[in-house]
Amino acid sequence: MMKQIEQVARWITQAKRVVVFGGAGLSTESGIPDFRSPGGVWDKYDPEDFYYQKFISSEASREKYWQMATEMYEPMKKAQPNPAHLAIAELEKLGKLDCVITQNIDGLHHKAGNSEEKIIELHGTAMHVTCLNCKKRYDRDQIQKRIRSGIKVPYCDDCGGPLKPATISFGQSMPERETEEAYHRSSSCDLFIVIGSSLVVQPAASMPLVAKRNGAKLVIINRDPTPYDDLADMVIHGQAGLTMAAILDLVREGLGIAGR
């Protein structure tokens, strides 16, 4: 595996525009459960109950949604960035990161130190809450206080509209600006690194393909095989944190920067 790590580090050092694409495997190493895995939230709840149209149309659905969302939020709030998040943030400081496109909703790239303008959150974020009517944004903890006080379904202070975590639900349209920007960055990079994604959730999973078709090298770092392994220039089956920390050390060396 060391030869693979050395090669990826060389590619990063030589690259002009590096795009990192992160999935759930990045966050599980920070203690956030993969909600799709056995024993996850979707074992306890039926995803059919949480479609966006149901949230909009039914008070009972909104109540059930907030119950589920509260359970998911607690481990996210406590979680801290792991070495993979920190390595991605360091790539930005070294001037090597064009952007990080993330499928995760946990805000860990922000906590790790990446700039807001470098983070594209394809599936939204659990760290904020939005009014579906007037689009007013609330801090998540502010709304969670209401839930803890016994309010089962929170509503907007300004217009009375329903409040919902700023995540993309089943049946909800992908965020137009973020999706368009992610495709643009994917098509114009020269190195695209997938970390911790199974690459099965569309349309996000098509972005490595966009990068590859436009001439970028494709690196996949994931514990398990993905559908795009055969297309990749390099596949590393291993832990995201250990792998990225090792790559970063070699990148710093290649750039002539002393170790931390």
Tens of pLDDT, residues 224-247: 999 999 999 999 999 999 999 999
**Same-domain status, 214 and 138:** no
The H or E element containing residue 111 is helix 108-112
* The domain boundary residue, chosen from 137, 167, 197: 167
Q: Residue 33 pLDDT > 90, yes or no?
A: no
pLDDT at 43: 60
**Same-domain status, 74 and 130:** yes
**Same-domain status, 229 and 102:** yes
**Same-domain status, 6 and 135:** no
Looking at per-residue pLDDT, the higher value among 72 and 85 belongs to: 85
**Same-domain status, 230 and 243:** yes
- For residue range 142-198, list pLDDT tens digits in order: 999 999 999 999 999 999 999 999 999 988 889 999 999 999 999 999 999 999 999
Q: What is the CATH number of the domain that holds 1?
A: 3.40.50.1220
* Number of domains composing the chain: 2
**Same-domain status, 161 and 193:** no
**Same-domain status, 140 and 249:** no
**Same-domain status, 155 and 221:** no
Sign of CA dihedral 96, 99, 105, 110: positive
- Report residue 37's pLDDT band, with 50, 70 and 90 as the boundaries: low
- Report residue 201's pLDDT band, with 50, 70 and 90 as the boundaries: confident
Instruction: Identify whether 123 is a catalytic site residue.
Output: yes
Distance of CA 248 to CAs 110, 151, 242, Å? Answer: 19, 46, 10
pLDDT at 34: 67
Picking from 80, 77, 76, 82, the residue whose alpha carbon sits closest to that of residue 32 is: 76
- The alpha helices in 132-239, defined as continuous H runs, are 140-148, 176-188, 207-213
- Calpha distance 97→12 (Å, rounded): 9
pLDDT at 59: 95
pLDDT at 216: 98
**Same-domain status, 11 and 90:** yes
Sign of CA dihedral 18, 24, 25, 27: positive
- Report residue 42's pLDDT band, with 50, 70 and 90 as the boundaries: low
Q: What is the CATH number of the domain that holds 163?
A: 3.30.1600.10
The stretch 9-33 carries a mean pLDDT of 94
Beta strand extents in 92-209 (DSSP E only): 97-102, 119-121, 124-131, 137-139, 163-167, 191-195
* Summary mean pLDDT of the chain: 92
* The domain boundary residue, chosen from 106, 140, 167: 167
**Same-domain status, 198 and 229:** yes
pLDDT at 48: 74
The stretch 73-78 carries a mean pLDDT of 90
**Same-domain status, 137 and 212:** no
Containing structural domain, residue 198: 1-31+81-122+174-260
Model pTM score: 0.92
Q: Residue 260 pLDDT > 80, yes or no?
A: no
**Same-domain status, 160 and 102:** no
Residue from 85, 123, 184, 237 carrying the catalytic annotation: 123
